[in-house]
Structure 1
Amino acid sequence: MRRLFGVAFVLMLAMAGATAARADEGRISLTIFKGGWIIGGSGGSGTLTFNGRRYPLSIGGLSYGLVFGGSKADLYGRVSNIRSPRDVAGVYGAVGAGAAIGVGARAIVLRNEKGAVLELSGRQVGLIADLDLSGLAIGLR
């Protein structure tokens, strides 16, 4: 019986390692426009580069909280823990805080329901202050 549990444990580890080994990563660039007064909206577009191919992305979202002003953010970075371009599509949620007056730097890490992780940084231009719970939806076009 003990040996059976040992074999089962080794098989589970092997399956977990095989699943993690199949996950891949890519590069992503996003342009996001955001604006609002208490309730805000965001939209934009982007590109995913994955396994040598480029995939166009669409972006949309709503935020609620302390939102005032408008901005444009150009973000670039890495997307990890994906197996196909479809894994990038989904809803990303994060509690965030930031401010930009003129040109400001932005950095953020987001995760969607499929486990894709975006690590983004870039610059933000505009006059905006936000302390909000945001939801960002990314879709393949």
Structure 2
Amino acid sequence: MTWLSKSTTAFGLILLAHACYSAHEHSALQSHRVASLTSLGTSQSGTATSLPIDITIETIIATFIICLGLVSGTSRLRPIQWRVWAGQIEREGEAGFLNSSGEVEKDYVGNPFRLLESRPGFVDIRKQRKEFAEWVKNQ
């Protein structure tokens, strides 16, 4: 993640923490208000109130800012098809897999066809048997 996405996410987390604290304070003040009204002997039937609109808006905006910061800091998506991904590795090499910090990503493994290109060919048993027979005769 870059410093911009990290700071955006941190700002969103601070806003969300403030909204949570405000919601807690609002509920504590409401319960204290209800307790004081019942101790005075007044009956209040509709004591349950919802959160103020500013706390609700702050929570929604904070969640949006956190999502924005997290999404802006993610790396590019990889192709779903393996052959497309392998072709990208062969064309671009390490340069195609640099993260936002300029380092090669840890899931980069190089040429995925390396194993297929470096495997030995088929073994001809008859040819080896014939060479072995000739070697035994020469010994």
TM-score, structure 1 normalization? 0.26
For the pair shown, which has the larger CA radius of gyration, 1 or 2? 2
Per chain length, whose mean CA-contact separation is higher, i.e. which structure has more relative contact order (CA < 8 Å, sep 6+)?
Answer: 2
Higher strand residue share: 1
Higher helix residue share: 2
